[in-house]
Amino acid sequence: MLDFYSIKDDQAKPNYPQQLGLEFAGGLDNKIFENLQNKVIIDRRSHYYSDFKSFLLSPH
C-alpha cells in the first residue's frame, strides 16, 4: 500500500509519518497505481516502490 500524508512544504520528511502525527490523506495499492498511470493521472516515470513527494491541491 502506498500511503499519502499531508505535510507542509517546509517540513522535513519524517522516517515514520505517524511519529509527527501527520494527517493520513489516503492510499493506493499497486493495481490502482498502475491503472492511474495508464490513464496518465500519475506520471509513468513514478515508481510504486520509490520515494516521491505528492502534492495535494486545496481550494484555498
Locate 36 and state its grid cell. Answer: 492511474
**pLDDT confidence of residue 32:** 93
**pLDDT confidence of residue 3:** 85
SS3 assignment for 13-53: CCCCHHHHCCEEEEEECHHHHHHHHHCCCCCCCCCCCCCCC
Q: Taking a C-beta distance cutoff of 8 angstroms, is the pair 30, 56 a contact?
A: no
Residues 6+ apart with CB under 8 A from 3: 17, 24, 26, 27
Locate 1 and state its grid cell. Answer: 500500500
Give pLDDT tens digits for 1-60.
888 888 888 888 788 777 788 888 899 899 998 998 899 888 888 888 876 655 443 443
